[in-house]
Amino acid sequence: MEPIGLLGGSFDPIHVGHLQLARDALANLPIAEVHFLPAARPWQKEELTPAEHRAQMLRLAIDNELPFTRRRMIVDLAEIERGGPTYTIDTLRDLRARLGPDVPLVLIMGADQFERFDTWREWERIPDLAHIAVARRAAAPPHLNPVLQKLRDSRYLKYPGDLAESPAGHVVDLAMTPVDVSATEVRHLLLQSRNPVEEARLATSVPPPVLDYIQAHHLYAGPHGH
């Protein structure tokens, strides 16, 4: 049973940073595929673009990848179909019910997310259901509070390849290619009249089919960028 990578988020919109993180995970972790899990309603965010648009933008972004990579990227609508506030612990329990207890699951997150990991619902239970791969840029040490430092120290696995040996329980580092882009910046650029430099920035931040979709459906043009 090959491990499965899990990459959750609002993807509002999907951008090149998300895609690079998935590529890095496929290249550096012993996973067969990455499941993109767009949230229905992240409990830490107030307003999102409708789920059908975010899901379609994900599909378009993945379809724009090279064939070998594209085959290993999956849009998983489990959180949207479940509805309500999105909590990772619920998603992992649903996946375990669906896939069984033995398939290795690898929850992929950025270092900034891991630094707030102890604010997540039932966060102590999450490592019992999945491994955690923390993406961080080279030479950037994590800034962890004592509780999370203890979690990392007690569950740290030096060699990510060993994740395949157990279904859950370990924390590994994932080297991430630096990509300076955020969904907040993309939404800001889409809201305003842009000069050529900003147009070029937007064009390199969002896959072309996604940008075409955004413009065709007039997304991020109203209040709050939605």
Residues in contact with 35: Cβ distance below 8 Å, sequence separation at least 6, in sequence order: 4, 5, 6, 7, 74, 75, 76
Per the domain annotation, does 86 fall within a domain? yes
> CA 179 → CA 24, 115, 146, 161, distances in Å?
12, 19, 29, 24
Residue 68: give the domain boundaries. Answer: 4-180
Per-residue pLDDT at 138 = 65
Per the domain annotation, does 92 fall within a domain? yes
Per-residue pLDDT at 194 = 82
CA distance 201 to 198: 5
Per the domain annotation, does 80 fall within a domain? yes
Peptide bond into 13 cis (omega under 30): yes
Per the domain annotation, does 197 fall within a domain? no
Do the Cβ atoms of 32 and 74 come closer than 8 Å?
A: no
Ordered per-residue pLDDT tens for the chain, 226 residues: 899 999 999 999 999 999 999 999 999 999 999 999 999 987 656 689 999 999 999 999 999 999 999 999 999 999 999 988 889 999 999 999 999 999 999 999 999 999 999 999 999 999 999 999 999 876 666 789 999 999 999 999 999 999 999 999 999 999 999 899 999 999 999 988 788 999 999 999 999 999 999 999 999 986 544 4
Per the domain annotation, does 206 fall within a domain? no
CA distance 199 to 3: 39
Write out the two tokens for 146: 């004592």
Per the domain annotation, does 202 fall within a domain? no
* β-pair partners for 8: 37
Phi, psi torsion values for 80, nearest 5 degrees: -65, -45
Per the domain annotation, does 222 fall within a domain? no
Q: Count structural domains, the chain.
A: 1
Per-residue pLDDT at 54 = 97
Per the domain annotation, does 55 fall within a domain? yes
Phi, psi torsion values for 108, nearest 5 degrees: -100, 130
CATH number for 84: 3.40.50.620
> What pTM, to 2 d.p., does this model score?
0.94
Pairing between β-strand 33-38 and β-strand 4-9 as defined by DSSP bridges = parallel
